[in-house]
Amino acid sequence: MNRQAKPKRPRSERGAGTVEVTDAPPSGVSPPALLAAIGSVDGASALDSKVLVLNRMYMAMRVISARRAFTLLFKDLAEVIHVEPAAAANGQSQYLTYNFSSWAEIADLQRRFEHDRHEWVRTVRSEIAIPRIIRLLGYDRLPRQEVKLNRRNLFARDRNQCQYCGHSFPTSELSIDHVVPRSLGGVDRWDNLVCACVRCNARKGGRTPDQAHMKLQRPPKQPRRNPVIALRLGHDKYASWKAFLDDAYWSVELG
């Protein structure tokens, strides 16, 4: 990895007030309260954008909201990892690191030369780009090595597609079907759970696919990689994540 770290300035040299594009919050004001004063430039959902979190050893740990990421940056518990655009496109790990102050200071250059690559939030004095990756400065725990079995990951694995008729549906119109029904000894496992639309689920009832003369689109199996993360990597704005998501660490948790 080629890494160029920007040294942090002593607190005595920093300004006061996070909303004022400085590093330390004013006395008596918590970072969450200051976050409430930040407005979104790119719509109300900008602070809900997703940020990849690395541990101190640069291993991918989990995905959190931009709102939570800014809180960690405000408290000096994390730093921004900015992957250079050319490196991100090739899945490489050439990057720069910033604390909150230095990240805010380069906002003008980012707006001028790479505005469309970022989402933005507005403070009292300026606009700040939402980072895509942060690194926890004092966290050494290793990431989980197993993808959690839950509804969100099941829908993502099957890409919101009914595994019987093959049509795609909104999440609200899908259910989780036991391939081998519970009444016949079926269990809650990756290889026995699939997405099914209301019509196919009702048609299948309490039978196996063979008994119902229905065919699965593909055999259900446990994913090696977090399926929600895989979906996000399809968007250009999350391309920088690829530099830190190899086969060993694609099972990061979602916050």
Least confident interval from 60-64, 141-145, 194-198, 201-205: 141-145
Average pLDDT over residues 162-188: 95
Residue 193: which H helix or E strand, with range? strand 193-197
The whole-number pLDDT of residue 24 equals 38
List pLDDT tens digits, range 208-236: 999 999 999 999 999 876 666 766 666 77
Which one has a higher pLDDT value, 149 or 192?
Answer: 192
**Quick check: 96 and 6 in contact, CB under 8 A?**
yes
What percentage of residues in the chain have a pLDDT greater than 90?
36
Q: Given strand 60-65, what is the order of strands in its sheet?
A: 3-5, 95-98, 78-83, 133-136, 50-54, 60-65, 253-254
pTM for the full model?
0.58
Average pLDDT over residues 224-253: 64
Query: Among the ranges 7-16, 27-36, 62-71, 118-127, which has the highest mean pLDDT value?
Result: 62-71
Least confident interval from 3-17, 40-54, 134-148: 3-17
Domain extents for the chain? 3-144+229-254, 151-204
Give the domain 151-204 fold. Answer: DNA Binding (I), subunit A (1.10.30)
The whole-number pLDDT of residue 208 equals 97
Which has the closest alpha carbon to 159: 131, 198, 194, 127?
194
> Looking at the predicted structure, is the pLDDT value of residue 42 above 70?
no
The whole-number pLDDT of residue 156 equals 87
| Number of residues assigned to the chain | 255
List pLDDT tens digits, range 27-38: 333 444 445 545
